[in-house]
């Protein structure tokens, strides 16, 4: 498929190009719904569609009013701050526990490895509504329902599978003789961990952390049940907005979130390539 050979028949040519067009359309389907939000968010009217002024590229048709609304509206602002308070804490908890466990899991002889792995990945698999309902009942019983700590713990649990998956994947390529060499030269396990192992697996740990961050930052079902009005996050506010009266401010929020996702994606891709390069350099 990489290139059309010169002897290709007309039929083959037709197929070659139509296949590419089909793929192009699928890529369009994937990306268009995300991209279309961006110009719509600069609409100067309270409409959710392109106004004639916008289509004429008339500057009158565009404005920053939805962004101004987002930054001046109290409920949106408190939602944003709540999200920014919850997500980093949840990330720290899941990265700390997750990295330690991933290192344990990648040791050569771990009893019940498969079963442990299945349990640790389960928060990703169990339908969110079931996790949310379970946490709602259980956390109310132990007094964590409606508290900041409750939401952080719940989100940390949801982020853990992502940390485990990315960090164990990085550890697969980790050269064990490096830690042995360090031990051989007199380093104790803690020094070995922080000076040898940690710098090498750091890209994986950071990627896992970013996954955990975005999981918490985007999460709405669990926070709806476990949180109370004091923990209303950005996705929660969006959910209410979409369900009750949809206000165009959502478009501005969505655009900001898309920008954040692009930044996170770029970081993860950069880290992935860096660690692939590093792995290519170290002897296998």
Partner 1 sequence: MSDTTQNGPVLAADGTPLKRSLAKALRMQKLRALMLIAPLLLFILVTFILPVGDMLFRSVDNRIVQEVLPNTVRALETWDPASSEIPDEAVFAALAVDLKAAAEIKVHTKVAKRLNYENPGLSSVFRKSGRKVRKWDVENEGPYKERLIELNDGWADIELWRTIKTYSGTRTMGYFLNAVDMKLGATGAEVRPETERIYNTMLIRTMRMSLIITFSCIMLGYPVAWLLANITTRSANMLMILVLLPFWTSLLVRTSSWKILLQQQGVINDVLVWIGLVGDDNRLVLINNELGTIIAMTHILLPFMILPMYSVMQTIQPTYLRAAKSLGATNWTAFWRVYFPQSVPGIGAGSILVFILAVGYYITPALVGGTKGTFISNLIAYHISTSGNWGLGAALGAILLAVVLVLYWVYDKIVGIDNVKLG
Q: What are phi and psi of 43, to 5 degrees?
A: -60, 135
Q: Are 155 and 87 in contact (CB under 8 A)?
A: yes
Shortest distance (Å) from residue 75 CB to partner 1: 16
Nearer to partner 1, 246 or 278 (CB): 246
Query: Within a 10 A sphere around the Cβ of 109, how many other Cβ atoms?
Result: 5
d(CA 171, CA 168): 5
Find, among 30, 65, 70, the residue nearest to 47 by Cα: 65
* Smallest gap from residue 71 Cβ to partner 1 (A): 18
Distance CA 16, CA 19 (A): 5
| Least Å from the CB of residue 186 to partner 1 | 18
- Report in angstroms how near the CB of residue 276 gets to partner 1 at its nearest: 11
Nearest CB to partner 1, comparing residues 116 and 183 = 116
Cα-based angle 39, 45, 47 (whole degrees, multiple of 5): 75
Tokens of 141: 């019983």
Least distance CB 60 / partner 1 (angstroms) = 20
């Amino acid at each position: 498929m990489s290139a059309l050979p010169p002897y290709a028949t007309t039929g083959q040519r037709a197929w070659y190009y139509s296949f590419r067009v089909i793929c192009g359309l699928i890529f369009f389907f994937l990306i268009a719904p995300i991209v279309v939000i961006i110009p719509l968010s600069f609409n100067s009217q309270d409409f959710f569609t392109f106004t004639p002024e916008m289509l004429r590229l008339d500057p009158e048709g565009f404005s920053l009013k939805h962004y101004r609304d987002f930054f001046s509206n109290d409920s949106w602002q408190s939602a944003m701050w709540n999200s920014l308070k919850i997500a980093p804490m949840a990330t720290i908890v899941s990265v700390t526990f997750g990295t330690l466990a991933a290192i344990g899991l990648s040791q050569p002889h771990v009893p019940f490895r498969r079963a442990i792995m299945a349990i640790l990945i389960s928060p990703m698999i169990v339908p969110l509504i079931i996790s949310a309902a379970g946490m709602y009942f259980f956390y109310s019983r132990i007094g964590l329902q409606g508290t900041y700590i409750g939401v952080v713990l719940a989100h940390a649990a949801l982020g853990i599978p992502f940390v485990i998956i990315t960090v164990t994947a990085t550890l697969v390529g980790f050269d064990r003789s490096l830690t042995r060499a360090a031990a051989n030269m007199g380093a104790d396990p803690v020094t070995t961990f922080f000076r040898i192992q940690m710098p090498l697996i750091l890209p994986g740990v950071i990627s896992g952390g970013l996954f955990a961050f975005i999981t918490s930052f985007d999460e709405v079902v669990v926070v709806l049940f476990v949180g109370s009005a004091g923990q209303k996050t950005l996705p929660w506010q969006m959910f209410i907005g979409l369900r009750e009266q949809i206000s165009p401010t959502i478009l501005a929020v969505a655009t900001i979130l898309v920008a954040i996702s692009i930044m996170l994606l770029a970081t993860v891709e950069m880290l992935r390539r860096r660690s692939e390069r590093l792995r290519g350099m170290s002897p296998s």
